[in-house]
Amino acid sequence: MKVLVAVKRVVDFNVKIRIKSDGSGVETDNVKMSMNPFDEIAVEEAVRLKESGVADEVVCASIGPAKSSETIRAALAMGADRGIHVVSDADVEPLAVAKLLKAIIDKEDPRLVILGKQAIDDDCNQTPQMLAALLGWSQGTFVSVLAFEGGRILVTREVDGGLEKLSLALPAVVSVDLRLNEPRYASLPNIMKAKKKPIEATTPEELGVDAAPRLTTIKVAEPPARQAGIMVESAAQLVDKLRNEAKVI
């Protein structure tokens, strides 16, 4: 079984985000970038499926500028077999990402697609669901447990009310949550081996997808500073302040 994993290059989660002086977006010049943490979990799960004999090939795909190839190399160092890089310098929105991944899937014919549940830069949490809809495939989102049984995928989803267990028919799209696994650190030998693994470069035009953005960013600004809290002497005073000052009740 072939497994396709999508990865995204984002600002490293340890970096404090800074807004550009003109308010047009987030500052990315001279900022440390890395693989989206949820995508690391997706790669780790795909590699574990290969190591257990469930999968025989792991293909890693990324959409973004030239430096996104570094993110693909990181996935290859973790154990993926080869990469596909859709080169695009423009911001690619979730629907366009889903369409581009569908074009790759139509070509590669994997039986399972694993994605992070969301990217930590835009927090959209839309691409996995859109991709499953475009493909007409089974989907399991926010997955914290994944197993195979009788040719089906058994997943446990983290939902607002607790945990939900589903049995999915293949082919399927799965988006993963934090508690699924602990991603491995790539060893130096595997980092060296990853340099020789193939990465196929393509473009949205070659895949026949219009990736032009549909949304316009008007302004990006820092959130307002949180005001200090106050102590109240009684429940009655708390209710009074909530009703008359905060006006939330």
Domain parsing of the chain, residue ranges: 2-220
Give the other-Cβ count within 10 Å of 120's Cβ.
Answer: 17
Handedness of CA 78, 84, 90, 93 (dihedral sign): negative
Element (H, E) at 202: strand 199-202
Peptide bond into 171 cis (omega under 30): yes
209 torsion bin: left (phi>0), alpha (psi -120 to 50), beta (else): beta
Per-position pLDDT tens, the chain of length 249: 999 999 999 988 888 888 888 887 888 888 888 999 999 999 999 999 999 999 999 999 999 999 999 999 999 999 999 999 999 988 899 999 999 999 999 999 999 999 999 998 888 999 999 999 999 999 999 999 999 988 899 999 988 888 999 999 999 999 999 889 999 998 899 999 999 999 999 999 999 999 888 888 888 888 888 888 888 889 999 999 899 988 888
- Output the six-digit token pair for 174: 């799965």
Strand, helix or coil at 95?
A: helix
Contact criterion met (CB below 8 Å) for 140 and 175: yes
Buried b (16+ CB within 10 A) or exposed e, 166-183: bebeebbbbbbbeebbeb
Integer Cα distance of 60 and 83 in angstroms = 5
Strand, helix or coil at 131?
A: helix
Structure pTM? Answer: 0.84
Q: Which fold has domain 2-220?
A: Rossmann fold (3.40.50)
Find the farthest-apart pair of alpha carbons in the chain and give their distance in angstroms, rounded: 69
